[in-house]
C-alpha cells in the first residue's frame, strides 16, 4: 500500500493518522507540505523514525524539499523524483491522507 501525505505534520494530524495504519512493507510518500515530516531533529521526526524501524519505506518528493529549502532529512528516508512517484503509484494501491 502507498500512503501519500501532503499536509504539514505541524498543522494537521494526517501523518499521525497514517502511521496508525501502516504495515511493514507499506510505503509512505511525503509530498507538498508533508515533506516537513521528513526533516531530521524536529518534534515529528520520531514518528517517521518509528515507521522506518517497523520496515515501512518512507519516500520524500525531492522537488518539494527543494521548493521549501529543506535538505536535512531523517536517515533512512528515500528522496524520489516525479518518475519515482509515478513508479510508486503504478506498483501500489494508494491511500491519500488529507
What is the structure's pLDDT at 76?
98
What residues make up the domain containing 37? Answer: 2-97
For the CA atoms of 8, 13, 15, 16, the dihedral, rounded to the nearest 10 degrees, stands at 150
In this structure, what CATH number is given to the domain that contains residue 90? 3.40.1260.10
Q: Which residues neighbour 86 within 8 Å (Cβ) at sequence distance 6 or greater?
A: none
Cα–Cα distance for residue pair 94/62, rounded to 1 Å? 20
Among the listed residues 72, 81, 8, 37, the one whose alpha carbon sits nearest the alpha carbon of residue 28: 37
What is the structure's pLDDT at 54?
97
Burial class (CB within 10 angstroms; exposed 0-12, middle 13-18, buried 19+) of 35: buried
Percent of the chain topping pLDDT 70 = 100
What is the structure's pLDDT at 96?
97
pLDDT digit string (tens) for 9-40? Answer: 999 999 999 999 999 999 999 999 999 999 99
For the chain, the domain total comes to 1
What is the structure's pLDDT at 79?
98
What is the structure's pLDDT at 30?
98
Cα–Cα distance for residue pair 12/82, rounded to 1 Å? 24
Amino acid at each position: 500500500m502507498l500512503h501519500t501525505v501532503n499536509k504539514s505534520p505541524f498543522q494537521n494530524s494526517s501523518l499521525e493518522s497514517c502511521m496508525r495504519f501502516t504495515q511493514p512493507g507499506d510505503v509512505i510518500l511525503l509530498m507538498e507540505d508533508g515533506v516537513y515530516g521528513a526533516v531530521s531533529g524536529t518534534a515529528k521526526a520520531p514518528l517517521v523514525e518509528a515507521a522506518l524501524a517497523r520496515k515501512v519505506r518512507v519516500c520524500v518528493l525531492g522537488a518539494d524539499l527543494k521548493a521549501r529549502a529543506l535538505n536535512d532529512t531523517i536517515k533512512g528516508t528515500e528522496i524520489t523524483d516525479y518518475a519515482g512517484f509515478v513508479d510508486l503509484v503504478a506498483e501500489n494501491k494508494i491511500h491519500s491522507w488529507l
